[in-house]
Amino acid sequence: MKRSNEYNQTKKVIDMTKKQDKFLTYKEAGKEINIGSSSISTFAKKHNIRRGTVVIGGRNVRVVDKNQFEYAIYKKNYLRNNDKVVWDES
């Protein structure tokens, strides 16, 4: 079955834009650090993370900058992947 040229062009555009996201939705960001999506706005504001809006499926969805968010959770050790123990002197 031969596809129409319009279909192939549309598919190319979809493939090019798929998952080139430089952002996380509030829901995705909340899952990463195990807090509610409604708390992400406060977290982003507190840590100076860029916030914005993107239209997904006809709805406005709030998003945060992916790189800035990941850097903030790394610096604050939310994922516990850079634990540094400071032992007491006794």
Has residue 50 been placed in a domain? yes
Whole domain around residue 40: which residue ranges?
21-75
The answer to whether residue 73 scores a pLDDT higher than 80 is yes
- In this predicted structure, the answer to whether residue 18 has a pLDDT above a threshold of 60 is no
pLDDT of 77 over the 90 cut: no
Q: Could you tell me the pTM of the whole model?
A: 0.68
Among the listed residues 21, 17, 15, the one whose alpha carbon sits nearest the alpha carbon of residue 7? 15
The pLDDT score that the predictor gives to residue 43 is: 93
Domains of the chain: total? 1
Residue 86 has pLDDT above 90, yes or no: no
Neighbouring-strand partners of residue 24: 64
Is residue 60 in some structural domain?
Answer: yes
**75 band by pLDDT with thresholds 50, 70 and 90:** confident
Query: Which sign, positive or negative, has the C-alpha torsion 48, 66, 42, 51?
Result: positive
Q: Is 61 helix (H, G, I), strand (E, B) or coil?
A: strand
Report if residue 42 sits inside a domain.
yes
Instruction: Enumerate residues 6+ apart whose C-beta is below 8 A from 2.
Output: none
First-to-last CA distance in the chain?
78
Q: Which two tokens stand for residue 50?
A: 């860029």
